[in-house]
Chains A and B, each alone.
Chain A
Amino acid sequence: MKKRHMIIASVALMSATLLTPALAQKKYDPGASDTEIKIGQTMPYSGPASAYGTIGKVQAAYFKQLNEQGGINGRKINFISLDDGYSPPKTVEMVRKLVEQEEVLVLLGTLGTPSNTAIHKYVNTKKVPHMFLATGASKWNDPKGHPWTIGFNPNYNSEGRLYGQEILRTKPNAKIAVLFQNDDYGKDYYSGFKDGLGDKAKSMIVAEASYEVTDPTIDSQIVTLKGSGADTFFNITTPKFAAQAIRKVDDIGWKPTHYLNNVSASVGSVLKPAGLDKSVGLISMLYIKEGSDKRWDNDPTMNDFKALIKKYAPEVNPDDGNATYGYAVSQLMAHVLKQAGDNLTRENVMKIAASLKDHQIPMALPGVLANTAADDFALFQTMQLVRFDGSIWVPFGKPQSVR
């Protein structure tokens, strides 16, 4: 018996010494090899949210160009982006296809709160990195319960807090009216906003109104809110309603300090339809560079981005906020994979994504840094307050950290 143990031990030792260096050099999970890294994604190219499809198109273009330039550490990116039509059962089907059939290494930027909710448990059971989701719900920051899921967008809650704190600082006697979409997203923002105002939330918020995403207009809500005598307005609405609200506020001659959530801060798709003159003075938050902003005319990343759009995705409008957003997500993904080197296991990729230290994504605003820790997956702690001057968002103050 003893002899056999010895033999086994020595064989194990020998093989360990022989194999360890080789193993340390290259480690692969499904979806990674010497030549390829497979990344999967679901995106609403059709259906009610198809405007977001731009994000997936830009990301596909980014990886295509990256491959032509040699890939990441010599490996080509195989980016598989499938249409889910913004229907959760379809997302489940497509993600299962990506994980079980295509065997992707990671999932990147799957879009939508309901669609991601549908796959949340599944990907965590399968231990597939579910990275940089295109949604800002707070629940993606749950390293204990769901260690394989990590969001991208600053969460709605923190952004709401940013505005609340800003109002306390600049206008402590404000009378505030709030309009919010009656769902998770709206309530996330609203509760963050109240947290930001702290004890004074009850006395400062004088009116609130909500709407359903399926409502045709929100005109009557705006009229009611104005009637409350509020001098500050926090506008928690998605693009279509945001444009309506901005227009209506101006039409009825209400002149509040108007805070608009980042979800609808796109100049091209919200402020232009609302009327640029009516949008002057709006306050919002930015964390990604805007294509229409002249400040970035000589910015190398912005130039790369515009060249990429021209060559690989000419149907995309570079001023569309979704386009630069998609670019920023791809840059972060490329950074994480580059860091992973030859250790391309799902665990290692996740570990790197969860230990970003003051990482400046080139397409993010200067000073807006990505930070994560093993017990905190909220990517962006800092945000930049901006004011609209009639043509672009102009930053004021330093990027602020909320936490």
Chain B
Amino acid sequence: MTTATTTVRPGRVSQLRVLNSEWIKLRTLRSTFWSLFAAIVATIGLGMLFSWGFATRVGDHARPIHDAATMAVTVPLRPYVIAQLAVGVLGVMVITGEYSTGMIRATLSAVPRRLPVLWAKAAVFSVVVLVLMEIVSFATFFGGEAILSSQHIQATLSSPQALRIVTGVGLYLTVVGLLGTALGAIIRSTAGAIAALFGILLVLPVLGEVLNLTSWGKHITPYLPSNAGGDLLTNAPDPGSLGPWTGFGVFVLYTVIAMAVAAYLLKRRDA
């Protein structure tokens, strides 16, 4: 009576099947929906607000802005700084949500080789965030520039560096989320991993400003993760910065290192 009326044919665990499993997991949690919703609303909503504020400021002819054309490219997209909070938290929770609930033991019993789980989580998360945030970034750019056109300072995708910056928003946010996933797998606690992630992204740059006051510190600050990653999203780089793709490459490298540590620990530690 007990078990199989449906014939259950033994199927090998494969990376593709684990990807499918992780896709089911990601789309069946409300927290996924709400974090992404927050990221979208923050980017588009604040993007429009910043653009409107900037347009108003430019309209004040008593106080002219000399580099308004340069700023017009980046102003609508500045809210990426806020969106990274939502995307980063989601990246962390993709893995710590399993540790806090005990789900991880079910997951690792089903995939005892373990590493396919980490790769699948990272891949599914990356594709979802990248596709979504690229769309949001382009939408925000076009919406924001439409508002700026009232002052005839709007940029287009063919403006200098514009295409790189608009595309860069989705790339940067995806890597922020992946760094969150790696930290989540290393620290295994939601609160701890979120603190670590935003410590790295938001607190380190502040310390960097202090470092900048020393002669040797100046050579370190460009390599801080968010400074390096942020190089991709600016058309007015700080002196000494690494340049858009080199900087972003350094940011990706940090994330790859964190992911490698996460993989090593996931494989070695008791679940």
Query: Do A and B form a real pair?
Result: no
